[in-house]
Structure 1
């Protein structure tokens, strides 16, 4: 069996393990200060039937439960960072499980493990296993040493989805809240995935906010260049939204 992934936009990715489908960090709408910067591959109504949804943290651009409530199956299992599940339940979802790092959830042949993260708010990343394949999903975490443990516990990672835009908040003295391209490549060198796909890089807060409030320090092209230097055995794919990529077992 193989895995097909499609970037929906930002950190929202559809992972299809031969019919077992997982959606990451749903974001399907816009509001002032939050623009994906790229077209959406799906709307909630046009998504295929999902086996599970994972959400790394409670920021709107990663946990857009109000817009996602247009998805027709409100009983889809949702695995979310501990402390944010009530928002999904208020939006009408009925099967919501909260997790912290190293807690696991099994759904049929799917196993989801929450793993460490650090961001401006409490966050987890995820390792998603199905059909003999393993995916690391990085949400929009910083590069922290605790993530090295993921490589020790999961020595065979087939795909890593890694944020690369290096978002910094200007009013807080350029405080970084997301890893940049080179830091993502450093993490990939530790995780040793067969395939890496950059995520979380087209987002924009709008012209004024981008100029005054935020700074971006990373691009997918810089990630690919850094990977060639530190993890040359990993295949890097920069994917436009909607373009499928197949990852086959070895």
Structure 2
């Protein structure tokens, strides 16, 4: 529970894993474009500031990460498509969303076992090492600051916030509306919950509602009742208002239970070399939750979202035994057909040598044993 939190690892900024990451990032500085700031690069190489921390207090992606492309006109046309008349809701494949009653039955059937339940998009209910963990709970109707305007979900959620079991650990990856859903958070019971989030995310929500609230830098970790949670790098950005771009950090999480069972929640991310660099510092995840949607137009999305094929490669870089696709099938954020991602994901995983049973694309509300 929250009062079992051991913050000793969180308070040790020079942990071995963190040292290895900074050394790897410093070694890659020579390949980073000069326009990213030679002063910051020199400081990071000297060890005075991590590479992803900029002098003005904002953050940036790891060296070698892809950058978002496209002209101003490309982006304008993209946003106009989002603002204009939207196509009708897609026809859902049979079984794509379980009824709440069925989702509750599946969850109850594995109550005493490690498991995951997909609630849609990047929201998972995870049972690991006797702890109940919730990731990026977007269970509302729109990923938007407006009640009647903005991207609207077309499927799910698997469970309403009120039907979720008590949450021991809530993991937030960044501040975008489809991941930090304040309406959902307001409906959660959080009195016994430890909130874990990346640096400077706490400004966007009422942290006093939680038993404990911790902000982590990349490669910092905290133990919650024997569950080790480490914030790991992601390739993305943050922005929630007009003037706060990259003012808070973004991340994924590596989880390890006391009995050695491991899980990776990759967060919202593009693909780059940083995953190969940090993976040796961790035990290989038994299951990696990897993003596989929101990737078209590719030139615009390449710096913030994985393709299904890149999601598979991300899991391979971490050495994951099994893969589960997320960030698809819930809300239409970009231009690809909404049910294309799982087909490409399974094909790419098979080509990479994963057996079919090691590649999961769940129904919303579905529970599987770990």
Cross-structure match for 1:223: 345
**CA offsets 1:99-120 (integer angstroms, 9 cap, x no match):** 1210001111111000011113
Cross-structure match for 1:200: 327
Give the length in aligned residue pairs.
238
Cross-structure match for 1:56: 173
Cα distance, 1:18 vs. partner? 5.3
Cα distance, 1:36 vs. partner? 3.3
* Aligned mates of 2:211, 2:172 — CA distance in 1: 15
Preserved contact between residue 27 and residue 61 of structure 1 (Cα < 8 Å): yes
Most deviating of 218-227 and 229-238: 229-238
Long gaps (5+) in structure 2: 1-111, 143-148, 239-248
Query: Where do residues 97-246 of structure 1 align in structure 2 (5 Å cutoff)?
Result: 97-121=214-238, 122-130=249-257, 131-168=259-296, 174-176=300-302, 177-205=304-332, 214-216=334-336, 219-232=341-354, 235-246=358-369
Cα distance, 1:19 vs. partner? 3.5
* Aligned mates of 1:18, 1:79 — CA distance in 2: 17
* Aligned mates of 1:194, 1:175 — CA distance in 2: 27
TM-score normalised over the length of structure 1 = 0.86
Structure number with higher helix proportion: 2
* Aligned mates of 1:112, 1:92 — CA distance in 2: 21
* Aligned mates of 1:60, 1:149 — CA distance in 2: 29
Cα distance, 1:62 vs. partner? 0.6
Cα distance, 1:30 vs. partner? 1.8
**CA offsets 1:185-206 (integer angstroms, 9 cap, x no match):** 111222221221100012434x
* Aligned mates of 2:365, 2:311 — CA distance in 1: 23
- State the SS of the aligned residue for 1:174: helix
- CA 1:102–1:18: 2 relative to 1, 3 Å: closer
Cα distance, 1:51 vs. partner? 1.1
Cα distance, 1:50 vs. partner? 1.2
Structure number with higher strand proportion: 1
* Aligned mates of 1:41, 1:203 — CA distance in 2: 11
| Partner of residue 29 from structure 1, selected from 140, 148, 156 | 140
- State the SS of the aligned residue for 1:144: coil
Long gaps (5+) in structure 1: none
Cα distance, 1:146 vs. partner? 0.8
Preserved contact between residue 85 and residue 98 of structure 1 (Cα < 8 Å): yes
Larger-Rg structure: 2
TM-score normalised over the length of structure 2 = 0.60
Write out the 4+ residue segments of structure 1 that deviate beyond 4 Å after TM superposition. Answer: none
1:85 aligns with 2:202: yes
Cα distance, 1:152 vs. partner? 0.9
* Aligned mates of 1:181, 1:135 — CA distance in 2: 19
- State the SS of the aligned residue for 1:221: helix
